[in-house]
Every structure is written in structure tokens, then in C-alpha cells.
Structure 1
């Protein structure tokens, strides 16, 4: 049996900010069968995660290419793999049965043939919406959890600053930090996002970075006694300002540098004397390095969700056709919380 498979590709490598003309919607027939004796699996996409790091994969060169399989270069005109939730349509793999739900590496498309069933695992929804497993219970959640608890190693009462705090990772970091007993301030790019952070998510305070002309002075105002932990999602001037306001033995978890993804010339560096004399630790990390805490992450986060102590923020578009605009919107501040696209009905 053949079906039509719609999917998104890039036309050429993307060096600056992404735009609609960089992408193409393609349609190709896919046969819903696998080779006899193979372990291959064909899945139908339900929810696909939309993540800023994908832009680095679309460039002609990025150091991220060497960091992990998940950051391998994207070849123009070929289907783009991405994290998401799917349903098994056909399986030659005894580990996966038809109609089972899976989570893992699927694609920016309707169907995908997964060789050997690699990078897929069975999904138990645990009573939660499937969308949660592409966001708060997926890599965004693990990134926030591992970055905060494993990299930042917080102590109760410490003062925490989170940039891009209304984004898919930042909003969760702030909520984990508050539940742990820290003082938390976030930055975001609109008054609506600031209100959301303070009124719904429980941040102690928040500010609109677009309204500030001196970030060092701004952070001094919000942290008169200094910052102990900075969870960095943006890099550049914000990181420089945060380090200038950090306390002795401060920790910086570098999760992303979205301000530099679309502008390779935009650079700012923290004062090295601050790093030396304050003994500040700055560490980049990837969630894939922290699967050893996956069990704790799922258990803790599910408990918080069931108790209503943590609030998932989801921003969901519909249909393969909406993927390019959803992705582009990440770099224009359009999303609130976890951006994903629903490809098909559950």
C-alpha cells in the first residue's frame, strides 16, 4: 500500500535568520511495508518538536555537527529529522507493534521509515496529553531539569536569573527553581510574557529586556545582592551582564545562545577577571549527556504535574505546512512556551 507523504526540506544551507523561502513542502509516495527480516519501523507523526538548535544544523558549517548525532548536518532537499511523538504504522521490529505509540527521532513530515527502529522508544502516556511528551516530558523538560539540578547544583534560597524565561526550557527552569526554594527572576521580550512569568508561573520578578538599555544596571537593580545561578539561553550581552553581577562561586549553565544563531557577528564576552576572582563556573551542556537522571526527572515532573505545582506552556500549530512559520517564529519571539506542530490526530 502506498500513501502520500508530505514533508519539509530546506532548499539551501541557511546562514542568517531563516525565512519562508528557505523551505519547501515536498510530497512523495511512501510504501507502507518494510523489508522481510528487517527491524525497520514506519511511523506516522503526531506531534513534532520545533527547536532553535535545528538552525545550526542547517548552516553550511557548525561546531554542533561534531557534538552529537542529533546535531548532524541537514542536507538540502532531504527530509529533516526531529524529536516527536508518533504511532507505529508498520513494524518489522519485535520491539514495536502496529498502533503502538513511540517517542524519539521522527521527522518534519507525516511519515518516516526508521531503520532498525533506532532512536525510538515505546511511549506510556501516563495519563497525560501526548503533546506533553514532545515538550515538558521530552527533551525540553530534561534539558531544564538536568541543566538546573546537575549543572547549576542549586542550594535553597539562592538567587537565580533565567533568560528567555518564557521559552520552552526557560519557563521550566524558573518553575523548578521556585519549587526548590530559590529566588527567581526571568527576562522575556514582551509585557504579556512578563505578566505570564509573574502571575501564572510564580517567578518572583521579571523584566522586558527590550525596554532596557543597560543590562548590567538592570540586573543590579533586580539582584542587589548578586546572582548565584544564571541559566543562559541567549548568550551575547545578556551573559556578559549576568557574569558582571554574579556572586563568588556563581554558576552559569549555557543551554543556548539564540541571540547568536541568526547573527554570527554578534558577540559579547564576560569579563575574565570576574570569572577568575569570583571563581565562576561556566558550563555548556546537552540534555543527551544526562540520561542518568531521566528517571528522576520523569518521576519528579509527573508528581509536580499531578499536584498542579508546575504549569506546562504549550504553543501548538497544526499541519506539516505550518512547520516553517512555526520554526521562523522562534527567532522572532512569537512562541510562548514549548513550540510544536501537531501533524495528525491522536
Structure 2
């Protein structure tokens, strides 16, 4: 137990899933990305619980204390969405507010499309909703990479990136966390490990700080390191190895729009927003009930850790109106919907 958080396990979709929760009220599922864990939501769990919500943050499939199946295809989008559906049921709830960051945002978007009955309110951090394209992702990888490596393509070969990252987990985690944050850009040392020379390895292109950034303590870093020393990187990287499979499985979603009330937040220095600029610009069209899209100044990819107070304020203001509208009541400062059911 950490800071009053309750650590628990549930059996969902054929795996044993670890999660952390705090608070009572309408259920909010917080879905992390790569290479993260439930711990990235530590500031949001407290804020949501204090505001009258039941905040639940799982270690997703392959991460932390959650089981990591061996087969690559066990990490496709249908299994990842199935995990969230199973967790809601295991928690004894009928619906959940779904908030995701990075890969967690991508899975949350698919969950919202596939089970709007179960996930009536949506928050996306860092990764905007990306409608299915007519071209297979691996074709786009080749177009992006050209004379350089593109990290998502580089991750496809089993074993290679795992060996690199696991040579020195502390260095890998610190380099990824720092390089993708807003700090290097603010300090005039922009880092780019998304596209890198083919004569180098992924880990060779990580930028390491002289001292930890103010938003990342040694305790925080050691927690991440311990989790990946335990679980390894195979399961988390397998999410990337299903990108083409996910495309093949979801042809029925061509042209689909997300209709739920939705919030989008990211750091203005987040490289993902730059890579997904067209999807960011098209959010109002692809997500007709978009409540707000906002870029937080001088923040990078880890926006809920780099700027927790601002992120919490946006999330709570968004939920105050969205949850009450679904419950049929007026928006106030505290939620009044019965736990687990919003309409």
C-alpha cells in the first residue's frame, strides 16, 4: 500500500491483473502507456478520490505485477480492450469513465468505439484519436523511416529492443522519461529517439539529464526501474508488434467517430502531438462531442506527471459536467451519480 492506495488483483480476460484504487463514487479507469505502470497516475488518483470518484489504475497486460502472456498476438487490441471490459465487471460496476495516456489513450479510444455502453465518458492524454487508415501501418513505417530507423518499426524484431533496454534498466528508464519530457527542449537540448540513424541503437539516442527533473524524484525513478526489472520489456513491446494485426482486425471501424463526451490534453512539447498533427487538427470532426483539446505550456509527453495540478483541474472540470449530464442532473462541484452508473 502506498499513500493510502489499495493494491489488489482481479482475474480478467484470462490473466491476473494488478490494480491500485482509492476513493468511492463513479468509477474512473486510468490506463497508462509505454513504458509506464499504474504509478504514472499517482497524482490523479488522489485528486479523483478527493473529488468523490473511485479511481482505479491497473498495471496493464504485460506490465508490473500483471501477467504477461508469451504469445505476441495476446497483446492485440481486442485483448487489451477485453482486459478493461473484464476489469469493470470484476470491480462490480456497470460503467466506467475511461482516461488513457499514450498507448492507454489508443486502447481507451478503441474501447469507447467498441463498448460505448460501458464507457460513456472518455479522456485522452498525449495521443489523439487516430481513425483507422486505409494503408497498413507497416507501409507508413517504411515511408517515415527512409534512411533512418523509426522507433515503432525498430521495435518489431523480437528480442532486439528488449536486450537493449534491459542492459541497464535504470539508464533506459531515465533516458526515455527525460528525453520525451519537455525539459530537454526547454533547456535547448531537444532529444529525438523516435527517428534515429541506422548506424545506432535506440538506446544510443536517449538524452540523459545531469540531474533529475523536478517532476521525477529518485523514489519515482526507482519504482519504475524495479517494475521493469521484474517484468522485463517483452510484454510491453509486444503491444507495438500488434499494430498491423490491430489494423487487420478492425476494418469494420473505417470511418468510425467517437461520440462520447471527450477531453484531450497533451504537453505543447510532446513529440507525439507533432507526429499526429493531422489527427490532432481533425479531433473536432472525428470526435463530435469533444469538450476541449488543450496543450499545456512547456510540458512534454508525460503531461500528467510533469504538470499534475493543471491536468487534474482539467479532468475534474470535465468530469463535473460530463458525468452529471449523463446522470441527468446539473453539473456541480461534486459528483452525484450513483457509483458505477451514470445514466
Shorter chain as denominator, the TM-score bin is under 0.3
Structure having the higher helix fraction is 2
TM-score by length of 1: 0.27
TM-score by length of 2: 0.28
**Quick one: higher RCO (CA 8 Å, sep 6+), 1 or 2?**
2
